[in-house]
Chain A
Amino acid sequence: MNATVTNDETPLMTKDLAALHTPAPPQEPLLQVRGVTLRYNTPEYLVTATYKVSFDLNRGDRLVLLGPSGCGKSTLLKAIGGHIRPAEGEILLHGKAITRPGTDRGMVFQEFDQLLPWKTALENIVFAIRNTRRTTRAEVVDEAGTLLKKVNLGGFEHSYPHSLSGGMKQRVAIARCLAVHSAIILMDEPFASLDALTRRKMQEDLLALWSESRFTMLFVTHSVEEALTLGSRVIILSSRPGQVSAEFDIDITAHNELSNPVLIRLRERISRILFKDAPEYSI
C-alpha cells in the first residue's frame, strides 16, 4: 500500500527536485543568526527559549528547523520576524541587524487566530497585498482569488475565518503569506493540523511554488518526514533551552524521496539525535 503510493508520486517528486537543485554560487547569507539567546520575562520566571543558536540562511534555501515541542522554534521565528529582541547575539538580514517587523519577512504563525476575523478569506489576502504594495484593487482581488485556488480554497473566498476549519485557516494564512512576495518566508508548523493527504498535497504544492519563484524559506516542524520532504537543509534543535544539536545538508543527488536509502539512513540518524535528546517520559 505504502509502496504504491510512493511509486505513484516518484516521477513528480523527482522532476520537481531535479529542477530545484542547481548549485548556487557562494554568496553572503541572506539571513545570519549569530549566537542568539532568546528569553521570556514573566513576572515569576526568566524562561530561556533558545540558547546561543547560530545558523545561516542562503538565498533560495529551504531550511527546516526540527525540534521537540517547547524547544523555542516559534520563539526563534518570531525573533527573525522582528517581534522579539534577542537577549544575546544578533540576527542580520542583508547584513543589517533586524530591529523591527517588516514586509521583507512573511510569516505563517502556528496559532489559528492569525487571520483577521473581521475580513473574509479573500479580504485577508487583499489586506496583506494592499498594505505592502501599490496596485489597483481589481488586480489585487484577482491575485488573491488565484492564490486561494492554489491552496485549494476556491469557493471559500467570501467565508469569514470563524466558519473555516483549522486547516483551512492555515491554508488561507499560507496564501496570504505568499501574496506579499517577501524575501524570506517563515513558516511555523503550517501543516501540523492537516490530514495526511492534504498535508502531502500542500507539501508538494509548496515545493512547486518554490521551484516557480525560488523564495527563501525557513520552515519549522517537528515531523522528521516533513523535514526530509521539504528541506534542502535541516537544523535540529535540542530541547529546553533550544540549541543547535546537528545540521544536515540534504544531499542534492538524493532526491527527497522518503524511500531513498540515503534518506532512510538520514532519517534514522535524525531520529536518534532527537530521541537521545528527549526527556524521559513515564506513563
Chain B
Amino acid sequence: MQAPSAQISLPGPAESSLNTGVPEPLPRTTKKLSATKRLFLISPVRKALLLAALAIFWQVYAEMLNNELVLPTFTSTVTAFLRSCLDGELTNNIFNSLKILCVAYSMGIVFAGLLTTLAVTTRIGTDLLELCTGMFNLLPAIALLPLALLWFGLGYASIIFVMVHSVIWPLSLNIYAGFTGVSPTLRMVGRGYGLSGPGFIFKILVPAAFPHILTGLKIGWAFSWRTLIAAELVFGTSSGGGGIGWFIFEKKNQLEIAELFSGLMAIIIIGVLVENFFFKTLENRTIQKWGMKL
C-alpha cells in the first residue's frame, strides 16, 4: 500500500531531502526486466541463437556454392544424420567407438591411479612418475600408432594401447598435482585418526584432491576421444567392428559427403553431451557443492 504513494511523492533533486529533512527513499532494489531482456540474459539462449545463425549461414553459403562434394547443405547433413541414425549404421559405429572408449578410459584411470599411489607412497615411485609423465606426456598418441601396429597388430588392442597412453599421463600428472597440493593440516587430521595407506589415500587424499582429479579426468577424456577417432581413421578398414572414425573414412571413399558431415556432427554432439552433462553434473555434485572449485 505504501510503496506506490512513496513513488508518487518521490523528491526530485537530492538537496530537497537535505532541506526538508525527509530521508530520500531508497531506490527500488528489485525491478522487473522485460521478458526479452531476461531471456537474453540466459547464456544457453544466446548460444542457441548464435548456433541458429551459424546454421543459416552454412545453409545459405552451401546453396550458393552448390557443390555437394565440397560442402553439403545444412539440411542435407541433418537428413543424412537422421537417416544414418535410424538405419542403425551411424548408431552402431557410435556404439562401437564408445565401447572402446569406456574400456580404454577405465584402464587409463586404473593405471594412473596405481602410478600416483606408488608416487605418493614411495620416493622411487615419485621419480618414476615425474620421469614418465615428463617424457611421455610430450608424445602424441598418434605417433605411437605404427609401433602399436607392430606390437599388437590391427585391431582393438592397438587402439586401446594408444588411447590408454593418451589418458594415463595427463591424468597421472593432475592426480599427482592434486595429491601433493593437499594441505598439511588435512593430512595431519587424517593421520590423527590413524589413517594410513589405502585408507588415507581414499578417505583423505582423493576427495581433497578431487578438483585436480576432475580436471585430469576431463583432459583425459578429451585426449582419448580425439585419439580414438584419429586411430580409427588411420586403421580404416581393418579394425573389425568399425567406429565413428571408420564411418567417416568410409563415407569419404564412397563420396557420400553429407554422411561424412553427419559423422563429424555426431562427434561434436557426443563431446558436448559428455562435457556439459556428464562432467557438469559430476562437478555440481562434488566440488561445486563442497565449495572446492578451482
Contacts and interface: CB of A to CB of B under 8 A. Distances in A.
A109 B289 contact: no
A78 interface: yes
Interface string A101-118: 111011101010110111
Contacts of A161: 291
Contact of B194 (A81, A103, A113, A114): A103
What's the dominant secondary structure at chain B's contact region?
helix
A117 B193 CA distance: 17
Nearest to A180: B193
A227 B24 CA distance: 51
A120 to B, nearest CB: 10
B238 interface: no
Interface stretch (B87-95, B159-167, B183-191, B252-260): B183-191
Contacts of A59: none
A55 to B, nearest CB: 22
Interface string A138-149: 000000000000
B195 interface: yes
A128 interface: yes
Interface in A252-276: none
A106 B192 contact: yes
Given A160-B290, A162-B292, A116 B194 contact: no
A109 B193 contact: no
B188 A117 contact: no
A172 B191 CA distance: 19
Interface in B159-213: 183, 185-186, 188-189, 191-195, 203-204, 207-208, 210
A163 interface: yes
Contacts of B286: 118
Nearest to A177: B192
A102 B277 CA distance: 42
A132 B194 CA distance: 8
Contact of A101 (B192, B210, B290): B192
A117 B192 contact: no
A103 B188 contact: no
Given A117-B291, A118-B292, A163-B291, A131 B194 contact: yes
Given A109-B185, A113-B186, A103 B291 contact: no
A52 interface: no
Contacts of A163: 291
Given A78-B188, A109-B185, A160 B291 contact: yes
Contacts of A118: 207-208, 210, 286, 290, 292
Nearest to B192: A101
Interface in B275-294: 286, 289-292
A83 interface: yes
Given A118-B286, A128-B193, A132-B194, A109 B207 contact: no
Nearest to A78: B188
Q: Which of A82, A106, A114, A163 has the most CB of B within 10 A?
A: A114
Contacts of A78: 188
A117 B189 contact: no
Contacts of B208: 116-118
A83 B188 contact: yes
Interface string A141-181: 00000000000000000001111000000000000000010
Contacts of A128: 193
Interface string A64-107: 00000000000000100111000000000000000011110111
| Central interface residue in B189, B203, B208, B289, by most chain A CB within 10 Å | B189
A102 B194 contact: yes
B189 A83 contact: no
B192 A105 contact: yes
Contacts of B291: 117, 160-163
A127 B195 CA distance: 12
A117 B292 contact: yes
Interface string A236-248: 0000000000000
B139 to A, nearest CB: 32
A111 B185 contact: yes
Nearest to A104: B194
Given A109-B185, A113-B185, A116-B207, A83 B290 contact: no
B199 to A, nearest CB: 8
A131 B195 contact: yes
Contacts of B193: 103, 127-128, 131-132, 180
Contacts of A127: 193, 203
A95 B191 CA distance: 22
Nearest to B189: A114
A180 to B, nearest CB: 8
A132 B208 CA distance: 20
A113 B183 contact: yes
B290 A117 contact: yes
Q: Which 5 A-B pairs have the closest CB atoms?
A: A162-B291, A131-B193, A101-B191, A118-B207, A111-B185
21 contacts: A78-B188, A81-B188, A105-B192, A107-B192, A109-B189, A111-B183, A111-B185, A113-B186, A114-B186, A114-B189, A116-B189, A117-B208, A117-B291, A118-B286, A118-B292, A131-B193, A131-B194, A132-B193, A162-B291, A163-B291, A180-B193
